Chain A
Amino acid sequence: GDSVTQMEGPVTLSEEAFLTINCTYTATGYPSLFWYVQYPGEGLQLLLKATKADDKGSNKGFEATYRKETTSFHLEKGSVQVSDSAVYFCALSGRSARQLTFGSGTQLTVLP
């Protein structure tokens, strides 16, 4: 079945540091890929998405590129802010197209 493996946290960075959170997946066919963010005490919000190979999703300075050859969708940001502190989830929408499969989440803390 479909699965998502995410870099384990927690991750602690200083403000303005470079961020990478690794995500790899296993799925049949051509899934859509997502990054969701969960701020403290809130539900998940879509951060960015990519629907086909080589697509780059971007939002709020975050980027991720759909790499089919390495089955990866790593999240990057060039300069993190304290306000980026949250839990980040990688997810895929696979063959059923009705369900999302989530990774375990990565807690990011950015220190001033």
Chain B
Amino acid sequence: NAGVTQTPKFRVLKTGQSMTLLCAQDMNHEYMYWYRQDPGMGLRLIHYSVGEGTTAKGEVPDGYNVSRLKKQNFLLGLESAAPSQTSVYFCASSSPTVAANNEQFFGPGTRLTVL
């Protein structure tokens, strides 16, 4: 199993450009998440999904959109990138079963720089 994979690993954008980050998981997890990691601030939740076709806002959703058209994929879009969106983005997935105890499995991250 590959677990959680993210594409691309690195990207540099100019202000105003758009892009989509792809997350894929092969663990048949219902829940998926997008976080951003900034120095000294830990991980902050951007959006999440509790199943195919559903999405919900997290702590810092502004400037981002997401889609969950297939259970195994969760896309994060930036319509008009801003320098404040320079960050490392992590995708995660989890199972809603009691036995799973809300453990989340993380991808390797995407380092995005907006100039």
Contact = CB atoms under 8 A, between A and B. Distances in A.
Interface size class of A (residues with CB under 8 A): 20 to 34
A104 B41 contact: yes
Contacts of A36: 106
Interface of A: 4, 6, 32, 34, 36, 41-46, 49, 51, 89, 93, 97-100, 102-105
Which 7 residue pairs of A and B lie closest in terms of their CB atoms, listed nearest first? Answer: A43-B106, A93-B102, A102-B42, A44-B106, A104-B42, A102-B43, A43-B108
B22 interface: no
Label chain B's interface by main secondary structure: loop
B42 A100 contact: no
B48 interface: yes
B1 to A, nearest CB: 15
B109 A98 contact: no
Contacts of B44: 102
Interface of B: 4, 31, 33, 40-45, 48, 50, 58, 90, 92, 96, 101-109
Most buried by A among B42, B48, B105: B42
Contact of A104 (B4, B40, B107): B40
18 contacts: A6-B42, A32-B102, A41-B108, A43-B4, A43-B106, A44-B90, A44-B106, A46-B104, A49-B101, A89-B43, A93-B102, A99-B33, A100-B43, A100-B45, A100-B104, A102-B44, A104-B40, A104-B41
A105 B101 contact: no
Contacts of A89: 42-43
